[in-house]
Structure 1
Amino acid sequence: MLRAPSFEGSVRMRSYILRRLLLFIPVLIGISIAVFLLMHLIPGNAVDSLLGVEATDELRAQLTKQFGLDLPWYRQYANWITGVVQGDFGNSIRTGKPILPEILERFKVTFELSLIASLISWIIAIPLGILAAVKRNTLLDGVARVVALFWVSIPNFALATLLLLFLSLKMNYYPALKYASFFSNPVENLQIMFFPALVLGAIMAGSVMRMTRSSVLEVLRQDFIRTIRAKGAKERVVIFKHALKNSFSPIITIVGMQMGYLLGGTVVTEQIFSLPGLGLFILTGINQRDYPVVQGSILFFALIFGVINLLVDLIYAGVDPRIQYK
């Protein structure tokens, strides 16, 4: 249970949040510069990708000037980042449409996929990690650790491809050609999202299971656990009321980090399962050299990742009374 902060604690918490947000500004600036330069260092350019075989020197020069690509790179960056600060992520070179509404719309798909994957991961990993810790050095513990190592080691694109081949060849299942949102058709939406979420959730479960096992095992070795057992407490009470409660801090940390990484790790999975998420949006933008799409989407991902890390730190301090805001 999260403890309610005192007035002094509330002041420290607000000060801590403000400092974290201010420190995040140079991080975002660094990410924006890195993404901008990397996109412009990729061979080819947006104009050639847009024109294709119809490119002529005159038409290429006209579009290059129209998109502002004839300016020095620092002028292009300054124009782009000035718009971002004002809430304007620019327009897509390919479609001419504003990018920010498209990012927000596609992020709903990516966020839902990440949320379902996280729930699957927690349902699998936390009970299995607790069981492995309680039954340590047994056959069950060994099998659980091997399975966790397998999920950690296998790349998500390989698992997604193998799963899709199995489903299509053995079960006649194919990804839906048209995405249905949860609010318009919940049943169809969950049918579409389940298998890609299962892939991401299984891979995430490996890290969460290992952290849960090690954290619970460390608490079970503490002196206060021996004291509780000596007083005659039932093993169920020892595990779930005392050991698990005191093990949550590192588990929350790894869960928060994994969820942040999961948002960015959906790129290939969305491509394989034809999900119109933000990951597929970025991949398409890279292939088409659509600079504003890629730059804006990655900067948005970085912002969300920073917010998730901040929330995890706040929850972490709320769960563990020994953590103080400074």
Structure 2
Amino acid sequence: MNKTLLFGSNGFLGSHLKEKLDGEVIGINIREQNWQDNLPDDANVFINCIGKAHDHKGIATERDFYFANYNVVKVLFEEFLKSNAQLFIHISSIAAVEENERTEVLTEDSVGNPQSHYGKSKKAAEEYLLKQSLPSGKKLFILRPTMIHGEGDKGNLTLLYKIISKGIPYPLGAFKNSRTFVTVDNVAFLMNEIIKRYKEIEGGIYHITDDEPLSTKKIIEIIGEAKDKKLIILSPPKFVINSLAKMGDMISLPINSKRVKKMTSNLIVSNQKIKQALHLDSLPISAENGMKKTIESFMKHKN
């Protein structure tokens, strides 16, 4: 039976993985004093879910992002090298490649274009890990998920749901977009498959995403179906929305340039590499069904 050390087990993804991963999963809190001395000798998997992504208050510094997304990675990987564990899985982000919009489908070979401290710090951690020499018998997997959603999600999807649930018309109907997301259940499924079969497949970087893209309009339709109500979609000119978003950059508004970009831009990511490595035709949960499950969880918790 696998014994997995999960770093970042109290976060959104980590809390789901603690429940959904096979075998024994032990959450490790690196804030505890001398945590390194308490790592079990018989663990065979290290998973790093520690990271800083959101800055809702706008006060995080470049140093904050690099500490959580880069410096911590170095410490954990050094512990992995000293341990008896054979597998290190690092959760990176598609933001290490692109954060805004691309016309082409992103693959693991796409040239990186991170813009924020978040994306740049994630990319720096990847580069550090790929430069390290691995002793015989040890493997490294770097997983780049697209936006992960599921129960307990606190990101832009939650904000969209709250706005729509209040009966506020969706004002971005003039924008036609398509993006790939990933339900947390598919993330857990793929990680279980990697842990079971890592000796058979090549280590390295893998994109983690659902099989199909979704438009923001489709997500709104899913919200409407879940709540059994017809939602209003408005289509004011794009320049009006962009002007409001710029105002939101200066004062506290639900809409700002970053959020508009996330909700209206195109970003499609391929998951063919991981499916080919694991000999999968498709993931167990479709993009639409995964999104329905997430929206239903919002309703359950009355977000």
Q: Which has the higher helix share?
A: 1
TM-score of Structure 1 vs Structure 2, range by shorter chain: under 0.3
Higher relative contact order (CA 8 A, sep 6+): 1
Rg larger in 1 or in 2? 1
Q: Higher strand fraction: Structure 1 or Structure 2?
A: 2
TM-score normalized by the length of structure 2: 0.22
